[in-house]
Amino acid sequence: MRADVVDERTEVVDALREQVRRFCEREVNARDIDAAARIPKAVLEGLGALGVFGVTLPEAYGGAGLRLEDACRLVDELARHDRSVAVSVGLHLGLGTRGLVRYGTAAQHERWLPKLASGEAIAAFSTTEPGAGSDLSSLRTVAKEDGAHLVVDGEKSYVTNGGFAGLFTVAVSTPGLGGAQRGQSLVLVEPTDPGFSVQREEHKLGLKGSSTTGLVFENARLPRERLLGEPGQGPRMLAHILSWGRTLMSAGCCGGAAYCLDKTVAHAQQRTQFGRPLAALDVVKERLALMHARHFAMEALVLATARQQDDEALAVHSLAAKVFCSEGAGWVADEAVQLHGGLGFIEETGVAMVLRDVRVTRIFEGANDVLLTHLGTAELTRRASEGRRHSVSEVEAALDDFALSLHSTHKLRVFRQPRLLHALGAATAWVMASRAATQRAHLTQHPTQLAFAKLVEQQAHAAVARASTPLTDDTLVHAALGLERTGARP
Ligand SMILES: Cc1cc2nc3c(=O)[nH]c(=O)nc-3n(C[C@H](O)[C@H](O)[C@H](O)COP(=O)(O)OP(=O)(O)OC[C@H]3O[C@@H](n4cnc5c(N)ncnc54)[C@H](O)[C@@H]3O)c2cc1C
């Protein structure tokens, strides 16, 4: 992922990125990591020595104080070599440490940031519970005040880096704390805290080298100073932390897609069928162009997202980036398998592993189905207050028409119709990606990039058209009745 706006920090990141690339080529073997289902300690230590774990942490505590955009470029590089490594690092830089950096006290910074910046301690983050996945309002892990302590009870699931983390940022229900009866707060937990334990590693479809564990709190006593930020303000802090997490995760999707793209182009040039290289066949050429264009738009959207300074704008952009990049990475990896033919299905080729690895990106950090509804809601709120805009591109105007027609047909009731909001969210993600791709191509004026941007714009048009003609209620009711009658798939 090349920076499209170059400044003095870009050079620092370029140099670090080059070191990371060389290190990964030497030390990171994705197939071995996949087979062993763990990342060798030497890899994490080596990345720590390069300063990767501290890139976004403050310089005062040993970090490099770089920006979200810079971290995205490093995670993109890592994902080209191994997605498990990229997810472990991305989680540390985003969900794992962002809360501490932004909301932590000076004492909390002193205690943990130096170790987190050097990689001596790796960070984890936990909201999900057995009964609370997409619905974070139903957290059951509860922290109650007991004098100078908080007593925590409950269970958490699927914690990335759980098996080796030195610090966990954990979302808990804190009834009464900070004034709110149903309030939630964030607490900082160390693996040695009494009453706290880390569960066994999960066996997964992909990202096998990354650590994913449950956590158990049984009467765990934490000093009250372990509260992160204001008590009862968990959801507000989570919104910011998740924006960072989703942006970095999207950068990882770009890296995975870039790997597939490079491999597929090389294969299509070298493999001959029907007396010509695959790359000379019309249908193959078109598919390669679409893969390139999608990847170009994914990168453009991630860079545009990472550059947002305003919290609200970052939150909305990160929803679009997360959905667009996770779907894009899955699609590019699937096309890569297809264009490799039988070879694509063979593990040694490498693209099958990416297909497995990126599948979860549509689920974690918020299932896409849920995030699309949030994105649709944000878009509708904005468009309804701004009205129709002048001098926008055709595709933006089509999205305006769609949003405004939803609003005028359903009035405020539309906000209680998740299917419509979901459809609007899907169209919005494409249009935001198209806007980012167009702006990026206009910056460089590179003919190929301008062509990619045009291709993405055409697809965004199709996405808006698709979203504005959803399945009719009649069709869905009919299908749902069939399900009810049989109790299963008819
Ligand atoms: C490998 C891995 C790593 C993870 N790492 C972490 C981590 O580090 N920290 C952490 O806290 N969590 C982590 N998770 C958990 C992850 O964020 C959740 O799995 C995810 O948020 C979905 O929650 P759920 O699994 O409970 O699915 P559910 O909430 O049970 O949803 C299942 C499906 O139902 C659909 N659905 C649900 N609600 C809606 C809705 N309102 N509208 C439309 N469709 C809906 C979606 O298709 C969704 O995928 C990880 C998960 C995995 C697999």
Residue 474 forms part of a structural domain: no
Structure-block tokens of residue 315: 């939150």
Task: Give the position, in ligand 1's atom list, of the atom nearest the Cα of 207.
Answer: 1
Which protein residue has the closest C-alpha to ligand 1 atom 33?
Answer: 367
Residue 340 binned pLDDT confidence (cut-offs 50, 70, 90): very high
Q: What is the pLDDT of residue 481?
A: 67
Which residue, chain included where needed, has tokens 């299932």?
A: 367
Residue 267 forms part of a structural domain: yes
Q: What is the pLDDT of residue 3?
A: 78
Residue 487 binned pLDDT confidence (cut-offs 50, 70, 90): low
The region, left, alpha or beta by phi > 0 then psi within -120 to 50, assigned to residue 360 is alpha
Q: Which candidate, 168, 160, 169, places its Cα nearest to that of 202? A: 160
Q: Which of 92, 120, 148 is the last residue of a domain?
A: 120
Q: What is the pLDDT of residue 464?
A: 96
* End-to-end Cα spacing for the chain: 46
Rounded to whole angstroms, how far apart are CA atoms 352 and 341? 11
With the C-alpha atoms ordered 176, 182, 188, 189, is the resulting torsion angle positive or negative?
Answer: positive
Is there an atom of ligand 1 within 6 Å of 370 CB? Answer: yes
Give how far the C-alpha of residue 47 lies from the chain's centroid of Cα atoms, to the nearest Å.
Answer: 21
pLDDT at 490 over 50: no
User: In angstroms, what is the span from residue 453 Cα to ligand 1's centroid?
Assistant: 32
Rounded to 5 degrees, φ, ψ at 157 are: -125, 160
Q: What is the pLDDT of residue 74?
A: 98
Give me the mean pLDDT over the 254-276 stretch: 98
User: In angstroms, what is the span from residue 370 Cα to ligand 1's centroid?
Assistant: 9
Q: What is the pLDDT of residue 391?
A: 72
Q: Which of 201, 232, 263 is the last residue of a domain?
A: 232
Residue 486 forms part of a structural domain: no
What's the pTM value of the predicted model, to 2 decimals?
A: 0.96
Is there an atom of ligand 1 within 6 Å of 160 CB? Answer: yes
Is there an atom of ligand 1 within 6 Å of 444 CB? Answer: no
Task: Give the position, in ligand 1's atom list, of the atom nearest the Cα of 202.
Answer: 1
Which protein residue has the closest C-alpha to ligand 1 atom 31?
Answer: 134
Question: Which CATH number covers residue 130?
Answer: 2.40.110.10
Residue 484 binned pLDDT confidence (cut-offs 50, 70, 90): low
Q: Are residues 113 and 177 in the same domain?
A: no
Contact 254, 302 (CB under 8 A): yes
Residue 97 forms part of a structural domain: yes
User: In angstroms, what is the span from residue 127 Cα to ligand 1's centroid?
Assistant: 10
Residue 234 binned pLDDT confidence (cut-offs 50, 70, 90): very high
Q: What is the pLDDT of residue 465?
A: 95
User: In angstroms, what is the span from residue 236 Cα to ligand 1's centroid?
Assistant: 20
pLDDT at 362 over 60: yes
Q: Are residues 303 and 434 in the same domain?
A: yes
User: In angstroms, what is the span from residue 363 Cα to ligand 1's centroid?
Assistant: 5
Rounded to whole angstroms, how far apart are CA atoms 44 and 49? 9
User: In angstroms, what is the span from residue 368 Cα to ligand 1's centroid?
Assistant: 9
Rounded to 5 degrees, φ, ψ at 121 are: -120, 140
Q: Give the CA dihedral 303, 308, 314, 316, nearest 10 degrees.
A: -80
Is there an atom of ligand 1 within 6 Å of 366 CB? Answer: yes
Pairing of strands 167-173, 123-126: parallel
Is there an atom of ligand 1 within 6 Å of 265 CB? Answer: no
Which residues are CB-neighbours of 183 under 8 A, at least 6 positions away? 173, 174, 175, 176, 177, 231, 232, 233, 234
Which protein residue has the closest C-alpha to ligand 1 atom 44?
Answer: 369
Alpha carbon separation from 180 to 91, 131, 141, 221, 235 (Å, rounded): 29, 22, 16, 22, 12
Q: Which candidate, 92, 316, 79, places its Cα nearest to that of 324? A: 316
Q: Which of 232, 266, 296 is the last residue of a domain?
A: 232
Residue 487 forms part of a structural domain: no
Q: What is the pLDDT of residue 411?
A: 85
Give me the mean pLDDT over the 152-169 stretch: 98
Q: Are residues 164 and 100 in the same domain?
A: no
Contact 169, 324 (CB under 8 A): no
Structure-block tokens of residue 466: 């698709």
Is there an atom of ligand 1 within 6 Å of 373 CB? Answer: yes
Is there an atom of ligand 1 within 6 Å of 128 CB? Answer: yes
Q: What is the pLDDT of residue 20?
A: 98
Give me the mean pLDDT over the 397-406 stretch: 93
Which protein residue has the closest C-alpha to ligand 1 atom 42?
Answer: 370
Q: What is the pLDDT of residues 431-475, one digit of tens each?
A: 999 999 999 999 999 999 999 999 999 999 999 999 998 666 666
Residue 457 forms part of a structural domain: yes
Question: Which CATH number covers residue 109?
Answer: 1.10.540.10
User: In angstroms, what is the span from residue 359 Cα to ligand 1's centroid?
Assistant: 13
Q: Are residues 322 and 368 in the same domain?
A: yes
The type of residue at 387 is G
User: In angstroms, what is the span from residue 369 Cα to ligand 1's centroid?
Assistant: 10
Q: Are residues 70 and 138 in the same domain?
A: no
Is there an atom of ligand 1 within 6 Å of 108 CB? Answer: no
Q: Are residues 65 and 175 in the same domain?
A: no
Residue 488 forms part of a structural domain: no
Range of the domain at 62: 8-120
Q: Are residues 192 and 268 in the same domain?
A: no
Question: Which CATH number covers residue 269?
Answer: 1.20.140.10
Q: Which residue has the higher pLDDT, 469 or 51?
A: 51
Rounded to whole angstroms, how far apart are CA atoms 146 and 161? 30
* Ligand 1 pocket test, candidate residues 134, 373, 419, most atoms within 8 A of CB: 134
Q: Which candidate, 2, 139, 83, places its Cα nearest to that of 443? A: 2
* Ligand 1 pocket test, candidate residues 97, 207, 323, 364, most atoms within 8 A of CB: 364
Is there an atom of ligand 1 within 6 Å of 126 CB? Answer: yes
Is there an atom of ligand 1 within 6 Å of 134 CB? Answer: yes
- When divided into structural domains, the chain yields a total of 3
Is there an atom of ligand 1 within 6 Å of 326 CB? Answer: no
Which protein residue has the closest C-alpha to ligand 1 atom 6?
Answer: 159
Which protein residue has the closest C-alpha to ligand 1 atom 18?
Answer: 364
Q: Are residues 345 and 452 in the same domain?
A: yes
Q: Classify each residue of 212-221 as buried b or exposed e, where b means 16 or more C-beta atoms within 10 Å of its C-beta.
A: bbbbebeebb
Q: Are residues 324 and 347 in the same domain?
A: yes
* Ligand 1 pocket test, candidate residues 128, 202, 210, most atoms within 8 A of CB: 128
Q: What is the pLDDT of residue 192?
A: 97
Is there an atom of ligand 1 within 6 Å of 369 CB? Answer: yes
User: In angstroms, what is the span from residue 108 Cα to ligand 1's centroid?
Assistant: 30
Residue 116 binned pLDDT confidence (cut-offs 50, 70, 90): very high
Q: Annotated catalytic sites, by residue?
A: 365
Structure-block tokens of residue 373: 């509804």
Residue 103 forms part of a structural domain: yes
Q: Are residues 273 and 349 in the same domain?
A: yes
Q: Are residues 333 and 393 in the same domain?
A: yes
Q: Are residues 336 and 260 in the same domain?
A: yes
